[in-house]
Chains A and B, each alone.
Chain A
Amino acid sequence: MEGTIKSKILDADGIRRAVTRIAHEIVEKNKGTDKLVLVGIRRRGVPLAERIQKYIEEFEGVKVPLGILDITLYRDDLSTIDIHPVVHETDIPVSIEGKAVILIDDVLYTGRTARAALDATMDIGRPERIQLAVLVDRGHRELPIRADYVGKNLPTSRREVVAVRLKEVDGEEDILLLERDDINIK
Chain B
Amino acid sequence: MKWQRKDILAIEDMSVEEIRHILHTAKVMKEILMRPIKKLPTLKGKSVVNLFYEASTRTRTSFEMAAKVLGADTTSIAVAQSSVSKGESLYDTAKTIQAMRADVVILRHPSSGSAKFLADILDPAVINAGDGQHAHPTQALLDIFTMQENLGKLEGKNVVIVGDVLHSRVARSNAWCLQKMGVNVTFAGPPTLVPVEMEGLGVKITHDLDSALPGADIVMALRLQLERQKSGLFPSLREYSHLYGLTTERLKKTGKQSIVLHPGPMNRGVEISDDVANSVDALIERQVTNGVAIRMALIYLLIGGSSNVVA
What chain B residues lie within 8 Å of A83 (beta carbons)? 2, 305, 307
Taking the complex as formed, is B117 at the interface, i.e. its CB lies under 8 A from any CB of chain A?
A: no
Taking the complex as formed, is A124 at the interface, i.e. its CB lies under 8 A from any CB of chain B?
A: yes
What chain A residues lie within 8 Å of B2 (beta carbons)? 83-84
Taking the complex as formed, is A157 at the interface, i.e. its CB lies under 8 A from any CB of chain B?
A: no
- Which parts of B1-42 form the interface with A (CB within 8 Å)? 1-3, 21, 25, 27-29, 31-32, 35-37, 39-42
What chain B residues lie within 8 Å of A155 (beta carbons)? none
Do B306 and A88 have beta carbons less than 8 Å apart? Answer: no
- The interface on chain B, measured as residues whose beta carbon lies within 8 A of the other chain's beta carbons, has a size of 28
Contacts between chains A and B (CB distance < 8 A), count: 66
- Render A156-182 as a binary contact track against B, CB cut-off 8 A, 1 for contact: 000000000000000000000000000
Do A78 and B304 have beta carbons less than 8 Å apart? Answer: yes
Residue among A76, A82, A89 making CB contact with B306, cutoff 8 Å = A82
- The interface on chain A, measured as residues whose beta carbon lies within 8 A of the other chain's beta carbons, has a size of 23
Taking the complex as formed, is B308 at the interface, i.e. its CB lies under 8 A from any CB of chain A?
A: yes
What chain B residues lie within 8 Å of A113 (beta carbons)? none
Closest A residue by C-beta to B71: A73
Closest A residue by C-beta to B4: A84
- Which parts of A64-90 form the interface with B (CB within 8 Å)? 70, 73-74, 76, 78-90
CB distance from B47 to the nearest CB of A (A): 13
What chain A residues lie within 8 Å of B55 (beta carbons)? none
Closest B residue by C-beta to A124: B35
What chain A residues lie within 8 Å of B40 (beta carbons)? 73-74, 123
CB distance from A115 to the nearest CB of B (A): 11
Do A84 and B304 have beta carbons less than 8 Å apart? Answer: yes
What chain A residues lie within 8 Å of B41 (beta carbons)? 73-74, 76, 119
Taking the complex as formed, is A98 at the interface, i.e. its CB lies under 8 A from any CB of chain B?
A: no
- Render B34-73 as a binary contact track against A, CB cut-off 8 A, 1 for contact: 0111011111010000000000000000000000001000
Residue among A78, A88, A123 making CB contact with B305, cutoff 8 Å = A78
Instruction: Say whether, besides A70-B28, A125-B36, A84 and B42 are in contact (CB < 8 Å).
Output: no
Taking the complex as formed, is B193 at the interface, i.e. its CB lies under 8 A from any CB of chain A?
A: no
Residue among A79, A86, A88, A122 making CB contact with B309, cutoff 8 Å = A79
Tell me, in angstroms, the Cα distance from A90 to B70 when the chains sit together.
16
Tell me, in angstroms, the Cα distance from A87 to B31 when the chains sit together.
12
Closest B residue by C-beta to A88: B28
Do B31 and A84 have beta carbons less than 8 Å apart? Answer: no
Do A123 and B39 have beta carbons less than 8 Å apart? Answer: yes
Do A73 and B42 have beta carbons less than 8 Å apart? Answer: yes
Do A81 and B42 have beta carbons less than 8 Å apart? Answer: no
- Render B279-311 as a binary contact track against A, CB cut-off 8 A, 1 for contact: 000000000000000000000110011111100
What chain A residues lie within 8 Å of B308 (beta carbons)? 84
Do A81 and B305 have beta carbons less than 8 Å apart? Answer: yes
Tell me, in angstroms, the Cα distance from A91 to B37 when the chains sit together.
16
Tell me, in angstroms, the Cα distance from A84 to B39 when the chains sit together.
21
What chain A residues lie within 8 Å of B309 (beta carbons)? 79
Tell me, in angstroms, the Cα distance from A2 to B159 when the chains sit together.
49
Do B306 and A80 have beta carbons less than 8 Å apart? Answer: yes
What chain A residues lie within 8 Å of B27 (beta carbons)? 89
Tell me, in angstroms, the Cα distance from A73 to B36 when the chains sit together.
16
CB distance from B46 to the nearest CB of A (A): 8
Tell me, in angstroms, the Cα distance from A78 to B68 when the chains sit together.
17
What chain B residues lie within 8 Å of A89 (beta carbons)? 27-28, 31
Do A84 and B28 have beta carbons less than 8 Å apart? Answer: no
Residue among B35, B36, B37, B301 making CB contact with A84, cutoff 8 Å = B301
Instruction: Say whether, besides A84-B3, A124-B35, A74 and B42 are in contact (CB < 8 Å).
Output: yes
Closest A residue by C-beta to B1: A86
What chain B residues lie within 8 Å of A74 (beta carbons)? 40-42
CB distance from B94 to the nearest CB of A (A): 24
Do B37 and A123 have beta carbons less than 8 Å apart? Answer: yes
A sample of 19 inter-chain contacts (CB < 8 A) reads A70-B28, A73-B42, A76-B41, A78-B305, A79-B45, A82-B305, A82-B307, A83-B2, A83-B305, A84-B3, A84-B307, A87-B29, A89-B28, A90-B32, A91-B31, A123-B35, A123-B36, A123-B37, A123-B40
Q: A76-B41, A81-B306, A123-B39 are in contact. List 16 more A-B contacts (CB 8 A).
A: A73-B42, A73-B300, A74-B41, A78-B305, A79-B45, A79-B305, A79-B306, A79-B309, A82-B306, A84-B304, A85-B305, A87-B25, A87-B28, A122-B37, A123-B37, A124-B37
Which residues of B does A touch, CB under 8 Å? 1-3, 21, 25, 27-29, 31-32, 35-37, 39-43, 45, 70, 300-301, 304-309
In order of increasing CB-CB distance, the 5 nearest A-B pairs are A84-B305, A123-B37, A73-B42, A87-B28, A84-B3
